[in-house]
Amino acid sequence: MAARARVVIVGGGVIGVSAAFHLAEAGVTDVLLLEADALGSGSSSKAAGGVRAQFSDRVNIELGQRSLEAFGRFAARPGGQIDFHQVGYLFLLDDPGTAATFEQNAALQNELGVPSRMISPREAFALSPLISTAGLVAAAYSPADGHCTPESVVLGYAAAARALGARLVTGTRVTGIEAGPDGFEVRTPEQTVRAETVICAAGAWSARVGAWVGTHLPVTPLRRQIVVTGPIAGLPERLPMTIDFATSLYFHREGQGLLIGMSDPEETPGYRLDRSDSWLPRLAKAMTRRAPRLADHGIASGWAGLYEDTPDHNGLIGEATPAPGGRFLYATGFSGHGFLMAPAVGEVLRDMYLGRRPPVDVSPLDAGRFAAAGVHGVYGARPELNIV
């Protein structure tokens, strides 16, 4: 591994490899990505794979919309098959106030080109016949959303980045970063790499990376679990990603079965990646209420991964100012939305580095918004409402 690089990217998940590809494609030479384990082995490979533009925040809508377009063209650029199923996202709503909010959100989404719309419970059942419509007042649906395979996206970006000259080094943990007068010294157990620019794409581990250079990145790791059923006869070919918004229960097709997940209100922050059965009774209760047929099918497999949460469930994208030595850019804390925004975020990081106007104005996502709110980590600085 060379002892010097123009750009060092810390983290080899989907955000990091997207950044590496977009920088290398733009002609930036000497890009070095450092990943402690295998590429995508953190949150990226544990994601449910959902991709959407149905958000409440304008910036998130634009990032999601631009990324959906990139997923649709992925086979041509950067290359690779990602099993993109554009089957839509369906949010099930059982509260009139929540439905009114989703209707307002849909109006903003439509303004930005997202083909989302409000539909009746009967229409929702026609799209997702596994659900019970009892208690539903409305649903929100966009046919442009869907799901794809996170590992394939990571590999596609990584292969293209390497072909364009970027160096992606795995099994190399960054243990510290020290700012100097003309850049950074990025330390690993093997050697120290001098870099003009560091990009933090370290996901759930980003708070530590930011602290090394005096930048507050309020990112907290939180375990989320997913289960997968065995084959289920009669599943619709175009079953949308279906979310019971009140409980956060969600499911989509995974082969001949279903991938099922839900947030656990009793989960506490930490880096736990072991699977636990403690959440299964709450999952079963939510399924019995909203999708009772799911309870008839056994669990074939599952896994646990980490959300990288911020206090307002919005990502952190920006550049540390004043510069601590060289340039320190960051893209992290997407609170479960990093995979689906990765194509657009890679473009944004490229343009920030090159001093160009990014395709999406992400200035509202600067980490300084929490300091501006008065105290680091204050909830509500810029809340995203459509969280799962």
Which of 265, 290, 309 terminates a domain? The answer is 309
Take residue 380 and report the two structure tokens written for it: 């509500």
Does a structural domain hold residue 225?
yes
Distance CA 209, CA 178 (A): 11
- Supply the CATH number for residue 9's domain: 3.50.50.60
Q: Are residues 159 and 205 in the same domain?
A: yes
- Supply the CATH number for residue 104's domain: 3.30.9.10
Residues present in the chain in total: 388
Q: Are residues 41 and 154 in the same domain?
A: yes
pLDDT digits (tens, 9 = 90+) for 200-238: 999 999 999 999 999 999 999 999 999 999 999 999 999
Mean per-residue pLDDT, 299-313: 93
Distance CA 373, CA 319 (A): 18
Q: Are residues 233 and 332 in the same domain?
A: no
Confidence of residue 243 (pLDDT cuts 50, 70, 90): very high
Does a structural domain hold residue 61?
no
Residues of the chain with pLDDT > 90, as a percent, come to 88
pLDDT value at residue 376: 46
pLDDT digits (tens, 9 = 90+) for 65-112: 999 999 999 999 999 999 999 999 999 999 999 999 999 999 999 999
pLDDT digits (tens, 9 = 90+) for 27-54: 999 999 999 999 999 999 899 999 999 9
Identity of the amino acid at 337 = H
Domain count, the chain: 2
Q: Name the residue range of residue 363's domain.
A: 4-47+150-219+312-372
pLDDT value at residue 382: 73
Which of 309, 340, 355 terminates a domain? The answer is 309
Q: Which residues in 336-373 are b (16+ Cβ under 10 Å) and which e?
A: bbbbbbbbbbbbbbbbbbeeeebebebeebbbbbbeeb
pLDDT value at residue 255: 92
pLDDT value at residue 296: 84
pLDDT digits (tens, 9 = 90+) for 339-362: 999 999 999 999 999 999 999 999
Residues 6+ apart with CB under 8 A from 314: 57, 59, 60, 333, 335, 365, 381, 382, 383, 384
Confidence of residue 2 (pLDDT cuts 50, 70, 90): low
Q: Are residues 229 and 117 in the same domain?
A: yes
Distance CA 29, CA 351 (A): 15
Q: Are residues 247 and 211 in the same domain?
A: no
pLDDT value at residue 180: 83
Q: Are residues 271 and 258 in the same domain?
A: yes
Does a structural domain hold residue 76?
no
| SS3 state of residue 254 | strand
Residues of the chain with pLDDT > 70, as a percent, come to 97
Which of 256, 275, 309 terminates a domain? The answer is 309
Does a structural domain hold residue 155?
yes
Does a structural domain hold residue 378?
no
pLDDT value at residue 149: 96
Does a structural domain hold residue 80?
no
Q: Are residues 366 and 319 in the same domain?
A: yes
Q: Are residues 301 and 231 in the same domain?
A: yes
Q: Are residues 203 and 246 in the same domain?
A: no
Q: Are residues 125 and 251 in the same domain?
A: yes
Mean per-residue pLDDT, 283-290: 95
Confidence of residue 274 (pLDDT cuts 50, 70, 90): very high
Return the half-sphere exposure (C-beta side, CA atoms, 13 A cut-off) of residue 174: 29
pLDDT digits (tens, 9 = 90+) for 312-343: 999 999 999 877 778 999 999 999 999 999 99
Judge whether residue 375 has pLDDT over 50.
Answer: no
CA distances from 312 to 27, 32, 120, 305 (A): 35, 31, 30, 20
pLDDT value at residue 374: 53
Q: Are residues 124 and 164 in the same domain?
A: no
DSSP-assigned letter for residue 85: B
Phi, psi of 44 (to 5 degrees): -60, -50
pLDDT value at residue 21: 98
Residue with tokens 């952190």: 316
Q: Which of 116, 54, 82, 46 is nearest to 303 (CA)?
A: 46
Does a structural domain hold residue 235?
yes
Residue with tokens 């084959």: 231
Contact 209, 178 (CB under 8 A): no
pLDDT digits (tens, 9 = 90+) for 123-165: 999 999 999 999 999 999 999 999 999 999 999 999 999 999 9
- The mean pLDDT of the chain is 94
Distance CA 179, CA 213 (A): 6
Q: Are residues 214 and 226 in the same domain?
A: no
Residue with tokens 């990217």: 9
Does a structural domain hold residue 182?
yes
Helix (H) or strand (E) holding 200: strand 192-200
Sheet holding 138-142, edge to edge: 117-119, 138-142, 89-93, 241-244, 249-254, 257-262, 220-229, 299-309
